Chain A
Amino acid sequence: EVQLVESGGGLVQPGRSLRLSCAASGFTFDDYAMHWVRQAPGKGLEWVSGISWNSGTSGYADSVKGRFTISRDNAKNSLYLQMNSLRPEDTAFYFCARGQYSTTFGDIWGLGTLVTVS
């Protein structure tokens, strides 16, 4: 079964760090770019970051640039999001999603992990 499972969320104080992981299974991980998308409770979707299949290209939303770092380990079929200098406005469900880098993404999504900054 094609699946993405996020982990690493939790309650963290402002200014602290957190690392999210996304474990992929059921497909050839390095055939795809990967993305992180977040959703504050009761709010809309916001693209956070994306990374190409070979880590050669990555990008960030302005709201997280300089604080968050996306990475992947194709040998471990895993995607990561290192989040530093967390702010209350970073509180959200964080989803990982599979796709291409700049044409389409999201044919597969994880269920999300909740990050609360308080």
Chain B
Amino acid sequence: QSVLTQPPSASGTPGQTVTISCSGSRSNIRRNPVNWYQQLPGSAPKLLIYTNNQRPSGVPDRFSDSKSDSSASLAISGLQSEDEGDYYCAVWDDSRNGWVFGGGTKLTVL
């Protein structure tokens, strides 16, 4: 059972916008910035979004996030086949004094 709750799966067709949610609590998401990671099959994770919707160099602006109270969401617009993979949210938890991850969402591009 993960500390952060994500839907196990999501799907969309090319060009659509897909949103993946991440639900936490006052000790983590409410207080701290959320990171989002993409993991393509057979690869190491890749940082997509960090600290209030910032993207590392090379990550397209099709990826964006938002936060409200103790929940966060990752939006992927203009969905492409290469976006298919697993997506994870993570955040520092002040109660645990450590990082916590969501269980991951498997994105399928139909």
What is the interface of chain A, defined by CB distance below 8 A to chain B?
35, 37, 44-47, 50, 59-62, 95, 97, 102-107, 109-112
Kindly provide the distance from the CB of A47 to the nearest chain B CB, expressed in whole angstroms: 4
22 contacts between A and B (CB under 8 A): A44-B86, A44-B88, A45-B37, A45-B104, A47-B99, A47-B100, A47-B101, A59-B97, A59-B98, A62-B96, A97-B45, A102-B92, A102-B99, A103-B32, A103-B50, A103-B92, A104-B35, A104-B47, A106-B35, A106-B47, A106-B90, A112-B44
The 9 closest A-B pairs by CB, nearest first: A47-B99, A104-B50, A44-B104, A109-B44, A102-B92, A106-B47, A59-B98, A45-B101, A44-B103
SS class of chain A's interface: helix, strand, loop or mixed?
Answer: strand
Q: Which of B55-110 contact A (CB under 8 A)?
A: 56, 86, 88, 90, 92, 96-104
A106 near B98 (CB under 8 angstroms)? Answer: no
| A47-B47 CB under 8 A given contacts A103-B92, A105-B35 | no
Kindly provide the distance from the CB of B28 to the nearest chain A CB, expressed in whole angstroms: 11
B26 close to chain A: CB less than 8 A: no
- A47 CA / B45 CA spacing, docked (Å): 12
B12 close to chain A: CB less than 8 A: no
Kindly provide the distance from the CB of B91 to the nearest chain A CB, expressed in whole angstroms: 10
A35 near B103 (CB under 8 angstroms)? Answer: no
Kindly provide the distance from the CB of B92 to the nearest chain A CB, expressed in whole angstroms: 4
What is the interface of chain B, defined by CB distance below 8 A to chain A?
2, 32-33, 35, 37, 39, 44-47, 50-51, 56, 86, 88, 90, 92, 96-104
- A105 CA / B91 CA spacing, docked (Å): 10
The residues of B that contact A104 with a CB separation of less than 8 Å are 33, 35, 47, 50-51
Apart from A47-B101, A106-B45, what are 15 other A-B pairs with CB-CB below 8 Å? Answer: A35-B99, A44-B101, A45-B45, A45-B88, A45-B90, A45-B101, A50-B99, A102-B32, A102-B99, A103-B33, A103-B92, A104-B35, A106-B46, A109-B46, A112-B44
Closest residue of B by beta carbon distance from A101:
B92
